[in-house]
Amino acid sequence: MKRITCAVVLATVAVLVWVATPAVSQPKVVRIGDLGSKVGVFEGYGKYQTMGIQMAVEELNAKGGVLGHRIEVISEDDETKPAPAVRKAEKLILQDDVKLLVGVVSSGATMAVMDVTKKHKTIHWNSVSCAEFMRTTKFHKYYFSNQPDSRMQANGLAKYIIDRMGKRVYIFYTDYAMGQSDGRQFKTALERLGGEVVGVAGAPLDTKDFSPWFGAINTANPEVLFLAFAGTDSLRLMTQLHSFGMTRKYRLAGIDCFLLQQDLASIAEPMEGFVQLNHFSAYNPDTNMQAFNARFKKKFGVDANIAAGAYDAVHFWAAAVEKAKSFDPDRVALAHEGMCLDNTHIGRQCIRKEDHQVVMDMHLYQVKGGKNLPIARIAGTDSIGEPMVGKDPVEGFSWELKKKN
Amino acid sequence: MDYLVAVLLPQLLHGLVFGAALGLLALGLTVIFGLLGVMNFAHGELYMLGAYAGIAVVGLTHSFWVAMILAPLSVAALGAVTEIVTLRPIYRREPLYGLILTFGLALVFREGARQIWGGDMRRILPPVTGSTPLLGMTYPNYRLFLLGASSVLLLLIWVFFTRTRAGVLVRAAVQDAEMLDGLGVNVPRLFTLTFAGSAALAALAGLLLAPVFTVYPQMGVEMILLAFIVVILGGMGSMGGSVVAALVIGIAQSLFALWMNPQRVAIAIFGIMIVVLIVRPRGFFGREGVLE
């Protein structure tokens, strides 16, 4: 009987060891979340965000992961709306236990997700959204951004427009968080520099026909038409402006995310001469951008674009985790502050301690023959502005037009 | 006076252009409803497939004009197969079956298009380029062509329904399909051909509007709501009513956009529908007994 008992115990132990062995030999895994638009008006940005994350994760995993953990990416679609974005963020954090959340694309959704990452103390990187509230009133210690926000963009663009394009500007924006923010900050910067805003109008996100606004633009008779749109809205708007002869009538300029390089080829003619602010272009001769783009193109077969900033977000986070020697969000957040990385997709970049904004040089490009060619460079330190954590960035702002004599 | 010429008249023109194209889409929907008693939720996806089929044909032949023939024909063929395989078995069942089925078909078509062509927005170059000075502005020639083409097509459809034997048969089937069956007309085939014709109309509308609104998998969802409003306003099953309602909605939408946020325009359009239905519960030209 004893022998049988002994045999059973041994067999059980053997089975347990056999079952447990694979688990022990499995490398430890840390998950990160990729939340963004996978379909709809901003899906182009969401797709490239995912690609940037994948590329960074493969590089890190090839070197042993982070803190001995292999990195695993879980991607979710936020449907470009705040409510699903919040739901998916909760799922990624609570169910999948992600230690980093990268996203989202639309500013409205990003601000909604910021409440979630603040509540659950999760490191949150934004590489696409640009509303001005994210590093001011909505800011929290776990939030970081390497997307130039509206204030940075306006500072970079307004001076060039006044100096080189014209002083009478009409602001046409997409009427939700991102466009309103870009419109507001641009109006503020332009008026501060002595320019005149001759008209403003907002069209809802995902507008199909922009022609109802064209009459008002023509009546205002601006020199420059400033456009704060993104995604498929930009494509449609440019096509329609062109068909109404307005791309030839006015000088046109737009924000950082106005149009992805990939979409440019399909509307090269309407976009000819368009001045766009960007922090990355595959056609910029900058050696860092060229080196990054070559690796990106080799892997995915397409040029990179601004959404590939998500690549840097993952590298910053991994470096911060290694520095903190922990995944603890408080320690990782602290390790981020003031950190600099040399090998980002646009060269050396540093995170400003006060508002967790990456100080990035801004580049102005002009579309010529379907390519974004660089025409000016504005140092990140000149465009970033003072830290305004907790302060209202739109205090005293009014959409009211100031008539000039 | 300046406001009238520089602002109101161009908006009126925008509304007319859009309303005429919307009429093409809504007409197919109302014919299917009148004849088959089915509120075709997949009609928007047939509109979308017309645009994608157009892209495919233009890619192969480099001709928008060829696409205007082949794209509707290919979608009509898909419509015929869909009607035979899925709708025909449920004609004698409650209308709810048709609603659910076409809703499912819409999902299948939309996701199918996404799988085949991807989710990216695509563009078809207009076959008519340039612009014309009109009403104090530069008006795209393609939009004028769109207005002309839609008007001619609507006229041809009216001629078909009023002056041809096939058209009279369809109208007779709308009135009383059983009686027509008793007279020896092959009603199932008539249903199939009518469904295919409606699908072709939707496809043609999708292709014609593609150079203006661009092409993407969800484009049908966004148009179908307006088309439903048009059908309800015009009177369920009334073809003339649909055309009138499409023009009213197109112009109203365009003019309202001058004074209010377009999101509120959508609410205003619903407001118009509610007011019309209170005053005329059957819509502009609705007949007694339809959906009652």
When pLDDT is averaged across residues A148-155 and rounded to a whole number, the result is: 88
Tell me the pLDDT tens digit for each residue of A247-279: 999 999 998 888 887 788 878 889 999 999 887
pLDDT confidence bin for A6, thresholds 50/70/90: low
CATH fourth-level superfamily of A151-278+362-383: Response regulator (3.40.50.2300)
Encode A158-187 in three state secondary structure. HHHHHHHHCCEEEEEEECCHHHHHHHHHHH
Q: Closest to A211 (Cβ–Cβ): which among B14, B119, B121?
A: B14
Domain span at B165: 2-279
Burial B139-166 (b: 16+ CB within 10 A, else e): bbbbbbbbbebbeebbeebeeebeeeee
Q: Look at the pTM and tell me if it is higher than 0.90.
A: no
Any domain includes B291? no
Total residues belonging to chain B = 292
- Which element (helix H / strand E) includes A225? strand A224-228
pLDDT, tens digit (0-9, with 9 covering 90-100), for A364-374: 999 998 888 88
Any idea what the Cα angle at residue B291 is, between residues B287 and B292, rounded to 5°? 85
Does A24 have pLDDT greater than 60? Answer: no
| B264 within domain boundaries | yes
Mean pLDDT of the region A139-156? 91
Mean of the pLDDT values across residues A234-248?
91
Cβ-proximal residues to A291 (8 Å cutoff; 6+ apart), any chain:
none
The answer to whether residue B250 is domain-embedded is yes
CA-derived radius of gyration, chain A: 24
**Higher-confidence position of A386 and A3:** A386
pLDDT for residue A187 is more than 90: yes
Residues sharing a CB contact under 8 Å with residue A143, sequence separation 6 or more, in sequence order: A114, A117, A118, A124, A126, A134, A135, A356
Angstroms from A342 CA to nearest CA on chain B:
34
Which residues lie closer than 8 Å to B85 by C-beta, 6 or more apart? none
Extract the residue ranges of chain B whose pLDDT is less than 50. 291-292
Q: What local confidence, expressed as pLDDT, does residue A88 receive?
A: 96
What is the tally of structural domains in chain B?
Answer: 1
A213: distance to nearest CA of chain B, Å?
Answer: 8
Read off the amino acid at residue A100. L
* pLDDT value of position A84: 93
pLDDT above 70 coverage of chain A, percent: 93
B285 within a domain of the structure (yes/no) = no
Disruptive mutation site among B121, B128, B129, B215 for chain A (greatest number of A CBs within 10 Å):
B121
- Residue range A169-186: mean pLDDT, rounded: 90
For domain A28-148+286-359, give the fold: Rossmann fold (3.40.50)
Residue A14: is its pLDDT beyond 70?
no
Q: Which residue has the higher pLDDT, A348 or A308?
A: A348
Question: Does residue B287 lie in a domain region?
Answer: no
Q: For residues A338 and A387, what is the distance between their CA atoms, to the nearest angstrom?
A: 14
**Contact call for B222 and A218, based on CB within 8 A:** no
Specify the CATH number for the domain of residue B183. Answer: 1.10.3470
Residues of A in contact with B211 (CB under 8 A): 239
A-chain residues near B205 (CB < 8 A): none
CA A242 to chain centre: 28
Q: CB B119 to CB A246 under 8 A?
A: no
Query: Of the segments A109-118, A208-217, B186-195, B216-225, which one has the largest average pLDDT value?
Result: A109-118
Residues of chain A with CATH 3.40.50.2300: 28-148+286-359, 151-278+362-383
Q: Are residues A232 and B258, on separate chains, in Cβ contact within 8 Å? A: no
Report how many Cβ contacts below 8 Å link chain A to chain B. 77
Interaxial angle between packed helices B239-259 and A211-220, expressed in degrees from 0 to 180 and rounded to the nearest 10:
30
